[in-house]
Amino acid sequence: MKRPRILQNIINYIRFKAFVLYPEATISFEYKRRIGYKPDLKNPKTYNEKLQWLKLYWYDPKATICADKYLIREYVESKGLKHILNELYGVYDNVEQIDFQKLPEKFVMKVTHGCGQNLICKDKSKINWKKEKRKFKIWLRTNHYYNSLEWVYKDIKPRIIVEKLIETQDNKPPKDYKFFCFNGEPKYIFVASDRGENTTKFDFYDLEWNHLAVKNHYPNSNEAIPKPLKLQDMIEHSKVLSKGFPHVRVDFYMEKEKVIFGELTFFHFSGSEPFEPIDFDYKMGEYLELPNKN
């Protein structure tokens, strides 16, 4: 059950104040609350523990640019991959700048500085724009950093972007292919399918498209997921986009036979969702080589 917004805001404020005063203690408390045990921040071994370490001791201003859902487009283009960017309809500093009547019948609207804060429009005639405007005004005032303690979100300029809706033949949300990359090398693929309120499935695959018996937050799909036609292209693109970072997750979609870039994520599930089996958490941790503290 979701908390009332005002209560969640109070909790986030207290969490942030505690983080400023006692960063390691706050990270440890939140981790134990979600995972069930206190993390070893001095000598982290698991993937989730190392993500907490990166929250505390690693900083790269380029990561903030790459977490910005608008500025990331410049980064992708600078890597010679402009052709995999989704079509952009507009970028706005506030919701009042948006002329809803001029938007296409189908689109995706999202904030540039958040996570999961979006509007998927398949039929504009069914959208209550007045209601959605209120929602986006709230989102623009929200800083995801205070909720997740992920510093990459802290200094992103809050804006709204509108992009082309990625469509599929079965009219379902497109599968999301998420590549876990370490120092520019992809190791595993996390595939999201049946995206919905209570239907989302996630499955792990290796780079040869062998299914792995691993769960992380969501249940596995009941059906084998077909190997994407452009798997090798996505692997190569993920190498290019992840180079220079100790770890980042590179996300793609497929529309027919075209690869479309999704986003870069530096803290998968905020490092706060257990893996089943836990051995996989350790296996992932072996690939994540921590940089020097900065």
Cα–Cα–Cα angle for 195, 52, 139, nearest 5°? 50
Q: Is the CB of residue 191 less than 8 Å from the CB of residue 202?
A: yes
* Amino acid 222: pLDDT: 87
First to last CA, the chain: 38
Helix (H) / strand (E) element for 186: namely strand 185-193
Domain boundaries along the sequence of the chain: 1-33, 39-84+171-294, 87-165
Of the candidates 129, 163, 143, 159, which has an alpha carbon nearest to the alpha carbon of residue 262? 163
Regarding pTM above 0.85, the answer is yes
Round the CA-based radius of gyration of the chain to a whole number and report it: 19
Render pLDDT for 148-170 as a digit per residue (tens, 0 to 9).
Answer: 889 999 999 999 999 999 988 87
Domain 39-84+171-294 fold:
D-amino Acid Aminotransferase; Chain A, domain 1 (3.30.470)
Render pLDDT for 211-260 as a digit per residue (tens, 0 to 9).
Answer: 999 999 999 998 899 999 999 999 999 999 999 999 999 999 999 889 99
Q: Is the pLDDT of residue 16 over 90?
A: no
Q: Is the CB of residue 171 less than 8 Å from the CB of residue 154?
A: no
- Judged on CB neighbours under 10 Å (0-12, 13-18, 19+), 34 is middle
Render pLDDT for 97-115 as a digit per residue (tens, 0 to 9).
Answer: 999 999 999 999 999 998 8
* Amino acid 22: pLDDT: 76
Question: Comparing 173 with 234, which gets the higher pLDDT?
Answer: 234
Q: Is the pLDDT of residue 117 over 70?
A: yes
Of the candidates 196, 267, 190, 284, which has an alpha carbon nearest to the alpha carbon of residue 234? 190
The three state secondary structure string of 204-256 is EECCCCCEECCEECECCCCCCCCCCCCHHHHHHHHHHHHCCCCCEEEEEEEEC
Q: 129: helix, coil or strand?
A: helix
Give the tokens for residue 182: 């370490």
Give the tokens for residue 233: 């292209």
* Amino acid 8: pLDDT: 66
